[in-house]
Structure 1
Amino acid sequence: MSDDNQIIVPPSFIALFVEPGRIKPSASREHIFARYDLCEDMANLLTEQASNKLWELGITEADVLERIHRGLLTQDVGLTEAEAGWVVQRLAEILGWETQ
């Protein structure tokens, strides 16, 4: 990652790589940036699917988010549990949905 990179990784994502009791991430900036890029893309890709499921199934926003979270954990999408949780939170933020 070059210093002229204009994408800012939010502190909420960087926190996924900070071990308890530490203040610095345990991964390199390049690794964190690559994982953030993947997770942000995933959240954006899921917006249409989430909106469609809300309408098709007639379930609550929270139920849609829970189902997507389970899917991210059970399918081989290459996300850690923490990253999957972040993707779901980001998805809710993009859609303007409340989270618990």
Structure 2
Amino acid sequence: MSDENQIHVPPSFTALYSDARQRLSVPMAELRARYELCEDLAQQLVDHSQQVHHDLGVSQDEVLARSYAGLCSADSGFSGAEAGWVVRRLAEVLGWPWDDAVLGG
């Protein structure tokens, strides 16, 4: 079994690429690659987010909202759904409360 097949993609991420019948809209290899990219980004944003919150006094909600806005920009390379997933994952890793209002909903 290759290392690629040992990557566990959580259902929350798989749902971004699934249709109403739970069929993937992309090949599994692409799903794994996108998941790894999004998970890595969420992990990389942890230290920066903590610094902005603590050093600059920006509220947790605002840090998350700013991160989401940046990831939603056209040149970020992330879809809106991926941006939302990354920010939710970031909040989870940081242990910060999550509010879907950050996503404009």
Is this a same-fold pair by TM over 0.5? Answer: yes
Which sits farther off after the overlay, 57-66 or 70-79? Answer: 70-79
Shift of 1:96: 0.7
Extract unaligned runs of 5+ from structure 2. 100-105
1:36 equivalent in alignment to 2:65: no
Extract unaligned runs of 5+ from structure 1. none
Distance 1:88 1:31, change over 3 A: same
For 2:4 and 2:30, the matched residues in 1 are separated by: 17
For 2:77 and 2:51, the matched residues in 1 are separated by: 24
After TM superposition, where is structure 1 displaced by more than 2 Å over at least 4 residues in a row? Answer: 1-6
Q: How many residues align?
A: 99
Identity %: 47
State the superposition RMSD in angstroms.
1.8
Q: Which amino acid aligns with 2:16?
A: L
Other-structure match for 1:93: 92
Distance 1:76 1:4, change over 3 A: closer
Other-structure match for 1:47: 46
Other-structure match for 1:57: 56
Q: Using structure 1 for the length normalisation, give the TM-score.
A: 0.89
Q: In structure 2, the residue corresponding to 1:76 is in which secondary structure? A: coil
Other-structure match for 2:21: 22
Q: Which amino acid aligns with 1:9?
A: V
Q: In structure 1, the residue corresponding to 2:45 is in which secondary structure? A: helix
Q: Which amino acid aligns with 1:53?
A: V
Q: Show CA shifts across 1:41-68 (max 9, x none).
A: 1001100110011013212211110011
Distance 1:43 1:4, change over 3 A: closer
For 2:35 and 2:90, the matched residues in 1 are separated by: 13
Q: Show CA shifts across 1:20-39 (max 9, x none).
A: x2221111100100000100
